[in-house]
């Protein structure tokens, strides 16, 4: 009988070993496991013993597949916050996030010190409109504590049909107690690029994330800004609260503004996971104007690659606060049965060799984002000459209509200013102190560059 049990356990150990190698880890990792050490094999035997004992002795019947998947999930999540085993449903959602539409609240989250933490809300999403901010700690979803939740479980609970609501309870620095946000789910916007002309000659491009068409949309936005009546003299590139996305799109966006040199290097334990991305020397289009690039603690991953590249090449002045610090590369390996394995395989390094991981990109000019005061919003007004009753105009009245005066100025060679700024631009300049400071820097640079010194 003892001999039978011994042989039975050995059989289970061998069977489980080959089951893991062939059915779970996929073809990309089979060779590593099969060539594993004797110590690894011994640990797998212990695992098979535990599984056997649970199957035979646990008080209730159990699903072996669920046990094994849970064990794999725990194994992978013990590596780092960004590695995970993806069930078929979660793997499918991951593919949708970068290529299609999905319904939910619109936040990018991670596990920080075992607490579910917001990297950044997606601009224009329900969470963004509700006031969720980077750094918020999510302690409950619909009243259920997230302390014991897996990250994918929390994501699944926050996803849902458009029009339905979910209550998210957050802890935030500066708040005396947790705060509930009731958020109505909606289709998450996939538009990743927005652009405005802040004033004649000064453009603004906001990249909210890096998706399939981000590079193309950035090129289109810049072309539109450069084709205005006034030549572009400066650009604000806004990567705040940009959680990242596709590496190739970040590299292409950085390449728009660089003529040569390294953009980013990736270094992994395997040579196959190490690569250097460089700028292309030959370009038909040049963009000869200064750039102020905005980042904050919600800028992560791909956005840190762009910021680091432009900063190291002195192509942009980086303004804001230190970025999130996600400088690791994940690859997704499809597994049998529709599941997937997201595994960290390398680290990012800036052109000068600085590690982004856990350090982030430090701005050249630290400027905290401040909430607009009531005085700012109303543009505090001081009494001036023009406010006095019956004040003299700057020039004598010409006795002509506005249209006629404008036509006369054109005929005299006086340039008519570009159109009035849109309401969106007025709103940005009224409420966003970092954008205002960036614009002041660009306009000051133009002034200083013309001084004879």
Residue numbers annotated as active site: 301, 312, 326
Angle, in degrees to the nearest 10, between helices 433-449 and 423-431: 90
Angle, in degrees to the nearest 10, between helices 214-226 and 247-257: 20
Residue ranges of alpha helices (H) inside 134-213 are 151-158
Q: Are the beta carbons of 371 and 352 closer than 8 angstroms?
A: no
Q: Are the beta carbons of 349 and 267 closer than 8 angstroms?
A: yes
The closest of 206, 233, 231, 232 to 441, measured between CA atoms, is: 233
Pairing assessment for the beta strands 165-171 and 179-184 based on DSSP bridges: antiparallel
Tell me how far apart the alpha carbons of residues 313 and 351 are, in angstroms, rounded to a whole number.
8
Tell me how far apart the alpha carbons of residues 22 and 299 are, in angstroms, rounded to a whole number.
39
Tell me how far apart the alpha carbons of residues 366 and 409 are, in angstroms, rounded to a whole number.
43
CB-facing half-sphere around the CA of 358: CA atoms within 13 A? 6
Q: Are the beta carbons of 237 and 316 closer than 8 angstroms?
A: yes
408-444 per-residue burial string, b: 16 or more CB within 10 A, e: under 16: eeeeeeeeeeeeebeeebeebbeebbbbbbbbebbbe
Give residue for tokens 């909430």.
371
Tell me how far apart the alpha carbons of residues 157 and 144 are, in angstroms, rounded to a whole number.
10
The closest of 417, 445, 435 to 288, measured between CA atoms, is: 445
């Amino acid at each position: 009988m003892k001999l039978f049990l011994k042989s039975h356990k050995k059989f289970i150990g061998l069977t489980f070993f080959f089951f893991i190698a062939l059915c779970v880890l996929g073809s990309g990792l089979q060779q590593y496991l099969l060539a594993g050490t004797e110590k690894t094999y011994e640990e797998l035997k212990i695992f098979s013993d535990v599984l056997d004992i649970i199957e035979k002795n646990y008080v209730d019947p159990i699903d072996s597949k669920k046990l094994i998947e849970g064990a794999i999930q725990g194994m992978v999540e013990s590596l780092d916050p960004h590695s995970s085993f993806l069930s078929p449903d979660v793997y499918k959602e991951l593919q949708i996030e970068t290529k299609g539409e999905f319904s939910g609240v619109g936040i990018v989250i991670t596990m920080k010190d075992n607490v579910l933490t917001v990297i950044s809300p997606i601009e224009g999403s329900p969470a963004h409109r509700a006031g969720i901010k980077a750094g918020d700690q999510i302690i409950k979803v619909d009243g259920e504590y997230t302390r014991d939740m897996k990250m994918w479980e929390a994501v699944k609970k926050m996803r849902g049909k458009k029009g339905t609501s979910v209550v998210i309870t957050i802890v935030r620095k500066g708040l005396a107690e947790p705060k509930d946000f009731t958020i109505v789910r909606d289709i998450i916007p996939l538009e990743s690029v927005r652009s405005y002309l802040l004033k004649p000659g000064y453009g603004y491009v906001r990249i909210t994330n890096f998706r399939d068409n981000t590079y193309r949309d950035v090129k289109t936005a810049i072309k539109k800004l450069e084709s205005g009546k006034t030549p572009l003299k400066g650009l604000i590139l806004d990567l705040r609260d940009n959680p990242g996305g596709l590496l190739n799109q970040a590299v292409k966006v950085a390449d728009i503004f660089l003529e040569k040199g390294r953009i980013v290097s990736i270094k992994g334990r395997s040579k196959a996971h190490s690569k250097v991305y460089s700028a292309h020397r030959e370009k038909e289009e040049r963009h000869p104007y200064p750039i102020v690039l905005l980042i904050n603690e919600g800028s992560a991953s791909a956005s840190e690659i762009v910021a680091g590249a432009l900063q190291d090449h002195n192509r942009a002045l980086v303004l804001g606060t230190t970025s999130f610090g996600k400088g690791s590369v994940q690859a997704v390996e499809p597994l049998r049965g529709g599941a997937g394995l997201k595994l960290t395989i390398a680290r990012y390094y800036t052109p000068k060799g600085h590690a982004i991981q856990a350090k982030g990109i430090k701005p050249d000019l630290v400027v905290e984002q401040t909430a607009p005061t009531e005085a700012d919003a109303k543009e505090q007004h001081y009494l001036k000459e023009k406010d006095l009753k019956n004040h003299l105009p700057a020039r004598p009245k010409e006795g002509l209509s506005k249209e006629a005066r404008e036509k006369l100025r054109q005929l005299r060679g006086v340039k008519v200013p570009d159109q009035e700024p849109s309401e969106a631009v007025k709103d940005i300049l009224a409420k966003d102190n970092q954008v205002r400071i960036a614009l002041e820097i660009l306009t000051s640079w133009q002034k200083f560059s013309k001084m004879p010194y």
